[in-house]
Amino acid sequence: MKTYEPPKEASHDSGTPADLLTFMTQSWAVPTGSVPTLAGRERFAARRQALGKLFPGDVLVIPTGHEKIRANDTNYRFRPGTDFYYLTGIHEPDCVLVLVPDGDAHRAIVFTEPNPGKSNSTFFTDRVKGELWVGPRLGVAATAARFGVESQPIDDLSTFINVTLGALPARLLRGLDDDAATIVVSSLDNDNALAAALSELRLIKDELEVAELRAAIAATKRGFDDVVRALPNAVTERVVEGIFNLRARVEGNDVGYSTIAASGPDACILHWVRNDRRIGSDDLLLLDAGVEAVSLYTADVTRTIPVSGTFTPAQREVYTLVWEAQRAAFDACKPGNDFLDPNAAAMRVLAHGLERLGILSSAEEALRDDKLFYKRYSLHNVSHMLGLDVHDCAKARAETYKFGRLEAGMVLTVEPGLYFQLDDLTVPERYRGIGVRIEDDVVITAGGYENLSAALPSEPDAVEEWVRSLCATIPEPWVVPAPE
């Protein structure tokens, strides 16, 4: 386990004389007050019990991870491990959740960094964890009070696992915390089964999760509106990125993934995040962006917007084909269908459209499993699960996800696209450099689906009207979440 290391002085600060140490550690008011309990915390407890039931008799160890270094002594902003957060609601770094078999159920303990307050000098000498540098930690007692879970100091984790629990079989969620990996003896197979079980629990969203996704999507809609308003002055793709990301940072935790602000031929690069091109007046802007709410649930929406407010004839042809493919995919979103059915429906429409445009010689040939020629123009499938992660439930087994069936409560994207590279000689010149993706987020319901992002215009005329009506209008006020 990582033990406390005395912080090294930064190369640019003066030292700490003994008299300053004495002065700094005196005469601070005793902290008062209690922490508010987390709303909905019983749901997090229910998730822990549901996970425990899948592994009776096993110790389950789920870390959240540490801050990651960006450069030298600066870190990236911390974002909790998805599964740890799903089971606790805790945002702080360095914590580890341990589920211990206890009769028919599991007892949950969160090991966390203590908060020494100003009771020792680390509050001002520790640049990484000291509260004067980075703000206070919740600490052991307040973590227990806020989240309704037993809590212990993180430095006791090693003894607890190896002495108190001794020989009980353990499973570890790997890849998040090298310190925990040195403590927990477990086999890779067992650990993979734990990771898969967590992803599969998260496949079906409960009402609280769907509500959080709705909120993330509503904020995302406001961010797209911000961008549309700013189009007349959006000189480069970075302006678009910055405007969207401002909304994400004010109303949520962050963006759920790097904003793709792709204009003109950049739209043909699927994950274009350099965002450094100057936007032309007749360009399409492909904006693929999502606000990650404070709850960490993220939207994932794409719109392809004519900067001028009017599609050129060639742009409109391509756009309309993608829009029709999305309609076909929506129709296949219902419980009992294969997860891949919406994809197959969309690809059928795209392939036949590509044949009509003179790009594919035979749609039926292109659709054959041993050909898949349409992929030259539409490389990615149209759906992935969405939730706390943008590509959610990624460790679920193929038989429950990719080759599984749609069920009520699943939330997924529907995002067909067509991408005609500038240098693609199989494509008529008038279409080269056009890239279109339309992406919505749907929840599967008992009778079919609900499009959670339907408030963002996507029908071609509606998109043009959106640009014309919002152009240079005043932004909506911020919807600022209550402080933690």
Task: Find the catalytic residue in 283, 389, 439, 441.
Answer: 439
Residue 300: active-site member: yes
Q: Which two tokens stand for residue 353?
A: 């459209």
Task: Find the catalytic residue in 266, 341, 415, 440.
Answer: 415
Residue 439: active-site member: yes
What is the distance in angstroms between the CA of the first residue and the CA of the last residue of the chain?
29
**Are the CB atoms for 133 and 127 separated by under 8 Å?**
yes
Closest approach, Cβ 61 to Mn ion, in A, equals: 31
Counting residues that bind Mn ion (by CB under 5 A) gives 2
Q: Which is nearer to Mn ion, 130 or 417 (CB)?
A: 417
Q: Which two tokens stand for residue 37?
A: 């309990």
Residue 391: active-site member: yes
**Are the CB atoms for 78 and 15 separated by under 8 Å?**
no
Q: Please tell me the number of Cα atoms within 13 Å of 39 on its side-chain side.
A: 7
Task: Find the catalytic residue in 73, 206, 365, 484.
Answer: 73
Enumerate the β-bridge partners of residue 262: 286
Q: Which is nearer to Mn ion, 146 or 384 (CB)?
A: 384
Applying CB under 5 A, which of residues 122, 413, 453, 458 lies at the interface with Mn ion? 413
Which stretch in 83-91, 294-302, 317-325, 425-433 sits in contact with Mn ion by CB under 5 A?
Answer: 294-302
Q: Greatest CA span in the chain, whole angstroms?
A: 84
Binding-site string for Mn ion from residue 363 to residue 382, where x marks contact by CB under 5 A and - marks none: --------------------
Length of the chain: 484
Closest approach, Cβ 467 to Mn ion, in A, equals: 23
Residue 380: active-site member: yes
**Are the CB atoms for 101 and 87 separated by under 8 Å?**
no
- Measured distance CA(120)–CA(26) in Å, rounded: 10
Which stretch in 126-134, 336-344, 347-355, 413-421 sits in contact with Mn ion by CB under 5 A?
Answer: 413-421
Q: Is 451 helix (H, G, I), strand (E, B) or coil?
A: strand
Task: Find the catalytic residue in 283, 288, 341, 464.
Answer: 288
- Measured distance CA(26)–CA(297) in Å, rounded: 43
Task: Find the catalytic residue in 137, 179, 437, 464.
Answer: 437
- 91-130: contacts with Mn ion (CB under 5 A): none
Closest approach, Cβ 405 to Mn ion, in A, equals: 21
Q: Which is nearer to Mn ion, 317 or 439 (CB)?
A: 439
Residue 352: active-site member: no
According to the binding rule CB under 5 A, does residue 151 interact with Mn ion?
no
Residue 392: active-site member: no
According to the binding rule CB under 5 A, does residue 298 interact with Mn ion?
no
Residue 384: active-site member: yes
Q: Which is nearer to Mn ion, 106 or 202 (CB)?
A: 202
**Are the CB atoms for 399 and 339 separated by under 8 Å?**
no
**Are the CB atoms for 138 and 84 separated by under 8 Å?**
no
Q: Which is nearer to Mn ion, 112 or 413 (CB)?
A: 413
Q: Which two tokens stand for residue 25?
A: 């550690």
Residue among 161, 178, 172, 180 at smallest CA distance from 197: 172
According to the binding rule CB under 5 A, does residue 300 interact with Mn ion?
yes
Q: Which is nearer to Mn ion, 51 or 305 (CB)?
A: 305
**Are the CB atoms for 384 and 413 separated by under 8 Å?**
yes
Residue among 277, 295, 282 at smallest CA distance from 218: 295
Which stretch in 78-86, 262-270, 315-323, 409-417 sits in contact with Mn ion by CB under 5 A?
Answer: 409-417
Residue 419: active-site member: yes
Residue among 57, 249, 282 at smallest CA distance from 165: 57
Closest approach, Cβ 306 to Mn ion, in A, equals: 22
Q: Which is nearer to Mn ion, 38 or 411 (CB)?
A: 411
Q: Which is nearer to Mn ion, 317 or 415 (CB)?
A: 415
Closest approach, Cβ 86 to Mn ion, in A, equals: 20
- Measured distance CA(261)–CA(287) in Å, rounded: 5
Distant-in-sequence, close-in-space partners of 477: CB < 8 Å, separation ≥ 6: none
Closest approach, Cβ 413 to Mn ion, in A, equals: 4
Task: Find the catalytic residue in 58, 300, 341, 440.
Answer: 300
Q: Which H or E run contains 140?
A: helix 139-147
The residues carrying an active-site annotation are 73, 271, 288, 300, 380, 384, 391, 415, 419, 437, 439
Q: Please report, as ranges, the residues that interact with Mn ion according to CB under 5 A.
A: 300, 413
